[in-house]
Structure 1
Amino acid sequence: MALREIKPGNRGFLYVNSHPEGCAAVVDELWQHTPAPAGRAGAAAEGPVALVIGSSAGYGLAATVAALRTYGMRGLGIAFEAPETERRTASAGWYRTARTAELAGPDGDFAFLNADAFSATAKEQALEHLAARYGRVDYLVYSVAAPRRTDPATGEVHHSALKPLGSAYRAKTLQFDGDTPVVGSLELEPAVDAEREATVQVMGGADWQLWIDALVDRGLVHDGFHTVALSYVGSDLTAPIYRAGTIGAAKQHLEDTARRLQQDLAPLGGQAHTVVAGAAVTQASTAIPSIALYTSLLRAVLGDGFQSTAQQAAALWRQLTGEVPLQLDQEQRIRLDGWELDDKVQEAVHERWAAATTDTLAGLADTDWFRAQVGRLYGWHVPGVDYDGPSQTTVAWPAAN
């Protein structure tokens, strides 16, 4: 297609169109904020092999960029992204993936598969590529956020529900009336058992388990193999809708899966852990009630102390590669969220939460930052990008090397 003039077409936190140059610029910034190689010997062809499932957004994207830039990883990233149509641009993750591949350079040995990671077809395609190209895998990072999942064995489609468990949830929310931030309120009725179970099927550890089983069955797990799945705990302010809600039930299943995988992989010299990351503005998190207000308050408290996904991904890889010891809690989870859950930080956030109204919000929360971060998820609000002129929206998915 020819150059197109595009507009965000957004309503609240949802954007219809993504901006190609803006998405590329976001990846450029992520790359620049990721540590460069420091004394790493050997050519790229000798680097370790990583499989990143959910490589186009959030922590999965940050983990992919860090793997490529800092460690010269070989391997495969998997994402499920929409191409351009006559009415809409390609998805933001499509453009981010294209730019990530460009930054990896012509000598990089990292491919990207556009497929539904939940499907048996994606697993077969990925394993065929890994077996033919590398033989075995050193790392698997699982960072999938999706609203639904089709069970590959039964064909049943499960839809996740963002609901509390046990009792109704009433809390403050952050909304935008045009450009004006507003503190509203929300009430959600508790989930029924079927909604809880469906959320566990979508966001729990079932698919992660299938990926590991498939790798092991094919003999593709290298000695010292380490797999991690991204998770979140967060503040007690958001616990009723998150950790104590349907999502929390799914995260508990994810953590239970990690313990089972740890036992299964131990005879092979492997390890499995969940990773408790800190707060971030992601496409998944903006859909969770109260998270927008909480994150805006947290940013106002921390300022530049709010750790980016790039910083957290770098910290994770230092642990996975053995540069520093694993930072495990009593439940054997890797913790990256100490900066968020620091007692003094949480005390300040609690005080601001209690005082937050539409009239007081400007002095308590960094809503401008939050709104800009949401736009950046789709390539908008990125400094230095020309949004007035036409853009080349037709961008090819990276070809396999």
Structure 2
Amino acid sequence: MSERVIAPKSRGFLFLDSHPGGCRRLVDDMWEAVPAPVATGGEGPVALIIGSSAGYGLAATVAGLARVGIRGIGVCFEKAPARRTGTAGWYRTAATARLARQHGRDMVFVNGDAFGDTVKEQVADLLVERFGGRLDFLVYSVAAPRRTDPDTGEVYASALKPIGSPYTTKTLVFDEHGGPEVKEVTTAPAEGDDVEQTVAVMGGDDWERWVGFLADRSLLADGFTTAALSYIGSPLTAAIYRQGTIGAAKTHLEATARTLDERLGKTVGGRAVTSVNAAAVTQSSTAIPGIALYVGLLRGVLGDAMVAPVGQLVELWDRLTGARPLDLDDEGRVRLDTWELDPAVQHAVAERWNTATGDTVTELADLDWFGDEVRRLYGFSVPGVDYTAAVETDVPWPTPTGWSGTSTSRR
């Protein structure tokens, strides 16, 4: 037993420890927010969620389990408890597995590097041993700083930079006392092979490799459908995001979707799409200059009309399973971001952006909500949790009964 009281300690938006009880309650609340299940008829479809422990990947996992009754496999890369607590994703995965068992869903979680072929082989074996050797859905939601090419061993590193010229933007920071400040920061443009490296990490290469790997083992069911999660975002952040190195990777991801869609249509009568999600506070998004301020202002404009990630993924599952039409835009993308990019909303956010200063930002942005959302990424500020009580930190990874595979921890 390793019970202790865990207090939130952070460096900027990065927290040093996570709270197991808060992470568990957060996942419980996500499940409760999912509408009543849609009828699937018999056993639920078999799904693979790559990036299942955080952000939109976690939302895809919980929404798929609670709404559609999926069974299958989640893949993520999390750190086990040791001297410090485990990562928040470790505890969220344990909580998701517990809920899946309680509701009779057979969901297995593999902890390891999704870019590597070892994990792909583990997943393929599980599909054969546990799920009849057929996969109905694959949701790809991976954000990573680097990727090792399984064929060459070359390590690629992603960069968060504009393309062509330096980018200066407002950004939200908090002083040592927690007071908000609005500052200008300048990011140098991409140089050398920054764009190519970022595309190699965050583009569609690994997604395509996953689909090809499973197809080569005849594991794709007739009508197999896959979706990669993406983002476009506001014109206010376009220079650093959609028009920057990350945007180049997203463009590559969307081109990959079109290639996969054509291939799957011919081989298994399947589909491949990208899903453009809307803004949310995630561990990835808080690292992008200007995004924290933008999301806080967006919340200030919309309040509770913002659609949480789990709500967006409910809509995606409804579209993927045929409960709603799978409507696509001219680029072949599912658009879940229309409420964010509504012209009236963007106009209101832009007006606030232009007048936001350290003196005015508390009136223009919902900073209390934003701060709570950041803390909730690590299991803090979750309603109903007693943070003065000791909590067990040594939570085991949810290894399924009857599986001979092994779980690898983050390096």
Q: What's the offset of the Cα at 1:183?
A: 0.3
- Counterpart in the other structure of 2:165: 167
Aligned match of 2:150: 152
Q: AA paired with 2:328?
A: L
For 1:194 and 1:7, locate their aligned partners in 2 and report how far apart those are by CA, in whole Å.
42
Aligned to 2:65: 68
Residues 322-331 or 221-230, more deviating: 322-331
1:123 pairs with 2:120: yes
1:245-287 deviation per Cα after TM superposition (whole angstroms, max 9, x unaligned): 0000000110111111111111120110111000011000011
Aligned position for 2:105: 108
Which aligned pairs between 1:319-334 and structure 2 lie closer than 5 A? 319-334=319-334
Partner of 1:133, secondary structure, is helix
- Give the corresponding residue for 1:266: 265
Aligned to 1:397: 397
Partners of 1:39 and 1:159 in 2: CA distance = 43
Measured in 1, the distance between the counterparts of 2:234 and 2:214 equals 35
CA distance in 2 between counterparts of 1:159 and 1:176 reads 28
Query: What RMSD, in angstroms, separates the aligned Cα atoms of the two structures?
Result: 1.0
Q: CA deviation at 1:40?
A: 4.5
1:39 offset after TM fit, Å?
4.3
> Corresponding residue for 2:276?
276
Is contact 2:39–2:68 with CA below 8 Å preserved after alignment? no
**Uncovered stretches (5+) of structure 2, i.e. residues with no partner:** 402-411
Letter in 2 for 1:294: Y
Q: Superposition pairs for residues 223-242 of structure 1, below 5 Å?
A: 223-242=222-241
SS at match of 1:140: strand
- Post-superposition Cα deviations, 1:114-135, rounded to whole Å, max 9, x if no partner, equal 1110011010111111122221
Within 5 Å, which residues of 2 pair with 1:187-336?
187-267=186-266, 268-336=268-336
Partners of 2:243 and 2:275 lie apart in 1 by 18
Out of 92, 95, 102, which is 1:96 matched to?
92
Structure 1 stretches (4+) deviating beyond 3 angstroms?
38-41
Q: What is the count of residue pairs matched by the alignment?
A: 397
**Matched AA of 2:14:** L
User: How far did residue 37 of structure 1 move?
Assistant: 1.7
Q: Which residue of 1 aligns with 2:369?
A: 369
Say which SS state the counterpart of residue 236 (structure 2) adopts.
coil
CA distance in 2, matches of 1:70, 1:277: 18
Q: SS at the partner of 2:380?
A: coil
**Partner of 1:353 in structure 2?**
353
- Given candidates 74, 77, 91, the residue that maps to 1:77 is 74
Matching residue within 51, 54, 66 for 1:54: 51
Name the CA distance, whole Å, in 2 between partners of 1:100 and 1:47: 17
Alpha-carbon distance between aligned partners in 1 of 2:91 and 2:36, rounded to the nearest angstrom: 23
Q: Distance in 1 between matches of 2:335 and 2:162?
A: 25
One-letter amino acid matched to 1:78:
V
Structure 2: how far apart are the matches of 1:35 and 1:127?
Answer: 31
Structure 1, residues 62-114: CA drift from partner, whole Å, max 9, x if none?
A: 1111111111111100010000112x100000000000011112532110001
How much has 1:193 moved relative to structure 2?
3.4
Question: 1:73 and 1:17 mapped to 2: Cα distance?
Answer: 31
- The secondary structure found in structure 1 opposite 2:173 is strand
Q: Secondary structure at the match of 1:296?
A: helix
CA–CA distance in 1 between the matches of 2:350 and 2:244? Answer: 20
CA contact (8 A) 2:47 2:71 kept: yes
The 1-side partners of 2:366 and 2:67 are apart by: 32
- Measured in 2, the distance between the counterparts of 1:39 and 1:140 equals 20
For residue 118 of structure 2, give the secondary structure of its aligned residue in structure 1: helix
Counterpart Cα distance in 1 of 2:383 and 2:274: 35
Q: In the TM superposition, what whole-angstrom CA distance separates every residue of 1:272-312 from its partner, at most 9, and x where no partner exists?
A: 01110000110000111100000000000000110001110
Rounded to whole Å, the distance in 2 between the matches of 1:278 and 1:72 is 24
AA in 2 matched with 1:158: Y
Alpha-carbon displacement from aligned partner over 1:328-386 (angstroms, at most 9, x marks no partner): 11101010000000010000001000010001111111111111100000001111111
- Deviation larger for 248-257 or 103-112: 103-112
Spell out, residue by residue over 1:233-254, the C-alpha distance to the aligned partner (whole angstroms, 9 max, x if none). Answer: 0001000000000000000110
Going from structure 1 to structure 2, the CA distance change for 1:82 and 1:221 (only over 3 Å counts) comes to: same
What secondary structure sits across from 2:172 in the alignment? strand
Query: Equivalent residue for 1:139?
Result: 137
What SS does the aligned partner of 1:121 have? Answer: helix
Counterpart of 2:29 in structure 1 is 29
Listed one character per residue, the Cα deviations across residues 214-246 of structure 1 (whole Å, up to 9, x for unaligned) are 011000010110000000000010000000000
Q: Any stretches of 5+ residues in structure 1 without a counterpart? A: none
Distance 1:241 1:313 in 2: 25
